[in-house]
Amino acid sequence: MSRYALLLAPSANRVYADQAGRLTRAELAAFSRVLTAPLSDIAETTIGGVGYITFEGELTAQDIAYLANLSAGYALFEQAAEDLLRPVTLTPLARFDSDLITIPKYAGKTNEQFTKLLLNLTLLGSASATRMLDGGLTVLDPLAGRGTTLNQALMYGYDAIGVEIDGKDVEAYKLFLQTWLKRKRLKHTADLVPVRRQGRRAARRLEVTLAASKEDHKAGAVQKVVVLQTDTTQIDGLLRGGCADVLVADLPYGVAHGSYDDAGGITRSPLDLLERAIPQWLPLLRPGAAIGLSWNTKVAKRELAEDILIANGLQLVAEQELSHRVDQGIERDILVARKSG
């Protein structure tokens, strides 16, 4: 049995960095589902005055390919002796340059490492877990904001679908993505058009088709991003059923952001939104698809979120402790559930 040491990537968010070790231990345990054999003895260890996550296992080349995508992973070493670390080459899924994720800066943007963590845990809880490295999956974010999750899906080689009620956010995402693609000289098309339902305008639809290289474009190996500007609780008929393999959503935290209730007012409860949206989201998921949610537990108890998912026929995916502090008013948690099939 070999022993490995994982060096964590630095984070610009100090509060998140302080908790990254515990979250990475939970993420490693989740990756065990797709590895040749489960990892054991996962722990936080100090080597030469530097903190690492250490674990034991017999890693194949494919196992290493999976672990290369750990959200906070920076470098992996085989611990050949107590004081000797042998580097292990990591090749993460990175279809595009990392600045696709890091360039956008705006108030309320979710930490990029956390976005990747939430997507990873949801993928690993779905029936598509063993296809993580293959591309060809579709990620749905029904609360897309300015597209951090959509861009992470593109980095993985997946298609992405977003729903966002704020027209300014949709236009900002379109402007950024088009500008970025032009600067990188990547072949693409982008259209923002109205969508009608029963003769009335129901949404605006942004559709971007792109390729990672000229060779991919010629071969037809393209990816697609679709973003609907509309209320996520009113998307019936606007997207094809069974279009997504995973759904990830960062629910409103109830501090600076809320959502509209049925009377048109603002509610600060993420569970009010979840209860109204879940019946709209479920038909969009393929059998075996997983839903990954994050939210502020200071305004919504985990047990109540679990009850909503279970009441809608979803099966909870067991995870280790993932609750963590974001700031004084936000204690964030993650919940993953799977659709039958």
Residue pLDDT tens, the chain, 341 long: 899 999 998 875 667 778 888 999 999 999 999 999 999 999 999 988 898 999 999 999 999 999 999 999 999 999 987 778 999 999 999 999 999 999 988 776 778 899 999 999 999 999 999 999 998 999 999 999 999 999 999 999 999 999 999 999 999 999 999 999 999 999 999 999 988 887 788 899 999 999 999 999 999 999 999 999 999 999 999 999 999 999 999 998 764 444 455 555 445 589 999 999 999 999 999 999 999 999 999 989 999 999 999 999 999 998 888 988 888 788 999 999 999 97
**Assigned superfamily of 99-338:** Vaccinia Virus protein VP39 (3.40.50.150)
**What DSSP state is assigned to residue 60?**
-
Residue spans in the chain of domains classed CATH 3.40.50.150: 99-338
Cβ 315 vs Cβ 127: under 8 Å:
no
Chain CA centroid to CA 184, Å: 24
The answer to whether the pTM exceeds 0.85 is yes
From residue 197, how far is each of 204, 209, 225, 309 by CA, in Å?
11, 24, 21, 28
Residue spans in the chain of domains classed CATH 3.30.70: 2-88
From residue 196, how far is each of 170, 193, 201, 224 by CA, in Å?
18, 10, 4, 21
What's the CATH number of domain 2-88, 1.10.10, 3.90.1690, 3.30.70, 1.10.8? Answer: 3.30.70
Strand partners, 291: 247, 337
In 3-state terms, what secondary structure has residue 10?
coil
CA atoms within 13 A on the CB side of 70: 27
